[in-house]
Amino acid sequence: MPPCPTTRWPIFWKSLQLLRISAEVDGDLEIAEITRRVAEQRGPALLFDRVRGRSLAVVTNLLGTPARACRALGLDSLDEMATRVAAIIEQNTPQNWFDRLKMSADDGSAGKLRPKAAKAGVCQQVVRLGRDVDLATFPLLKAWPGESGPAITAGTLITEDRQNNIRGATLTPLVALDENRLAVVDDGHSVFSRHWSAHRAAGQRLPLAVVVGGDPIRTLAASLELPAEIDFYHLCGLLRTRPLEVVKCRTHGLEVPAEADFVFEGYLDPEVPDVNVEAAAAAGSHYRVSLPSPVFHLTAVTHRSRPLFPAIIDSGSTGEAGVLVQARERMLVPLLRSVAPDLVDLYLTAFGGWQRVAFVSIRKQHPFQARQIAAALWGTNALRFTKFLVLVDERIDVHNIEQVLGQMGAHVAPERDLFSLDGPAHASDHANTLGALARHVAIDATTKLPAEQSTKSPSPLDAGHDIRQQVTARWPEYRL
């Protein structure tokens, strides 16, 4: 029997934010459609304890609202993630924040939050090896018609760099091919892809672990797409403000979080050709893609004695995928300021699908600064696929669409303020016509400085500080 929700998520259950559905449901499309309808209404997390043909329960929409995500992450607001990341960056040491993550455990507080090895973990209370591994016994879901098969949608792929064994994490779906093989649906630009390319070129197998369930901070950390020299588990410890406990896998040397619900262990073989599968491009995008996908051969599955199988179902700007994007957005702001110090705020919109359109407010210091900042942002892993960047003044609330459009209408001259850069294309961008290359466009909607104006242009619609103060002081006299 699945565990009682009051045991695993007492806060959610007592506040009626977790709803148990006891009717039998199908993992093929039905659970996804139920979840989308509930998520669109910003409803509760859903626990399906009778999935047709499966003995394990499925939980969806777990972090489906910002308030619920904050409670699960131990935050007062998602903005606190930005504060936490900024604190990591601004620690009182002479190195920059990348260097601090590489410090030893004796080099200050950052080093003390490195992962700690444990002898045992709840993720290995049940162990299935070899022929006992059968994906058909697990409640993998199919979310959209036309997909090749049921998939793991809330898994974090853990791999190690071939040269220095630094761990990396990637968020991407895995589609079941048969009882012990999964296809890794990756766009070729991830940490996983980098590690796999190095192993394949050397003719070596790549050990791989897929971690499902457990601390949601792991999902947020994986979404940041860290530089190659940063250890993923160390960042998790810094964001959690306590070290992550890890245990060794049963069939290879990779370490995995001890508190996870499920761990799928195995390897990729350079002698095995890729397969083509249709799947959602990533959590948070309902676009289906057909990609040459590496084949993940399972050697073991371990899990809690009474686990729940989480799944992320895309519901556009609402639901869990949307909230995870919001949290990632808040975390990215202090990181992006390291390459663009005059960046004020960022809004990753859901227009046309995630990663398509971003609004950015900047503290403008000199003419054509928007071009400089756009180029810097496109140069980061986080925003390299963003098709449209709209840059506005710092006084504009980037989450207020009317303000952004008003700024565009008032201050954009297309012949001057539209500029583009050709860069890598995302696999899910079906509108792209340039193959692996894509054209990225920025719109400079900032108020123009004199050096940017070929003719006299209107000033911002602002009455001025003095007159505003005068009218405020005399307001009672007007008897309005």
**pLDDT category of residue 9 using cuts at 50, 70 and 90:** low
User: If you average pLDDT over each of 123-127, 162-166, 191-195, 225-229, which comes out highest?
Assistant: 123-127
Question: Is there a single domain that holds both residue 297 and residue 362?
Answer: no
Residue 315 reports pLDDT greater than 60 = yes
Question: Is there a single domain that holds both residue 300 and residue 348?
Answer: no
Q: Are 21 and 33 in contact (CB under 8 A)?
A: no
pTM score, whole prediction = 0.83
Cα separation, 422 vs 193, in Å, equals 22
User: Which of 458, 433, 435, 438 has its CA nearest to residue 448?
Assistant: 458
Residue scoring higher pLDDT (106 or 323):
323
Residue 18 reports pLDDT greater than 80 = yes
Question: Is there a single domain that holds both residue 293 and residue 371?
Answer: no
Question: Is there a single domain that holds both residue 209 and residue 272?
Answer: yes
* CATH number for 64: 2.30.110.10
In this structure, is residue 322 part of a structural domain? no
CA 264 to chain centre: 20
Question: Is there a single domain that holds both residue 15 and residue 161?
Answer: yes
Q: Are 320 and 312 in contact (CB under 8 A)?
A: yes
Question: Is there a single domain that holds both residue 220 and residue 302?
Answer: yes
Count of the separate structural domains present in the chain: 2
pLDDT average, residue stretch 148-156: 92
What amino acid occupies position 164?
A: N
Cα separation, 148 vs 433, in Å, equals 25
123 phi and psi, to 5 degrees?
-70, -10
User: Which of 113, 64, 356, 326 has its CA nearest to residue 237?
Assistant: 113
**pLDDT category of residue 1 using cuts at 50, 70 and 90:** very low
In this structure, is residue 319 part of a structural domain? no
Cα separation, 376 vs 369, in Å, equals 11
Residue scoring higher pLDDT (66 or 462):
66
In this structure, is residue 160 part of a structural domain? yes
Residue 94 reports pLDDT greater than 90 = no
Question: Is there a single domain that holds both residue 255 and residue 358?
Answer: no
Residue 14 reports pLDDT greater than 70 = no
Task: Write down the H helix ranges in 173-314.
Answer: 191-201, 217-222, 232-240
Residue scoring higher pLDDT (327 or 96):
327
Q: So what's the pLDDT on residue 284?
A: 45
User: Which of 427, 416, 106 has its CA nearest to residue 292?
Assistant: 427
Residue scoring higher pLDDT (122 or 432):
122
Question: Is there a single domain that holds both residue 272 and residue 364?
Answer: no
In this structure, is residue 474 part of a structural domain? no
Question: Is there a single domain that holds both residue 71 and residue 150?
Answer: yes
pLDDT average, residue stretch 251-257: 96
In this structure, is residue 417 part of a structural domain? yes
Question: Is there a single domain that holds both residue 346 and residue 298?
Answer: no
Question: Among 295, 311, 327, which residue terminates a domain?
Answer: 311
Cα separation, 51 vs 47, in Å, equals 10
pLDDT average, residue stretch 299-306: 95
* CATH number for 423: 3.40.1670.10
CB atoms within 10 A of CB 286: 18
Domain hosting 392: range is: 339-452
Residue scoring higher pLDDT (99 or 149):
149
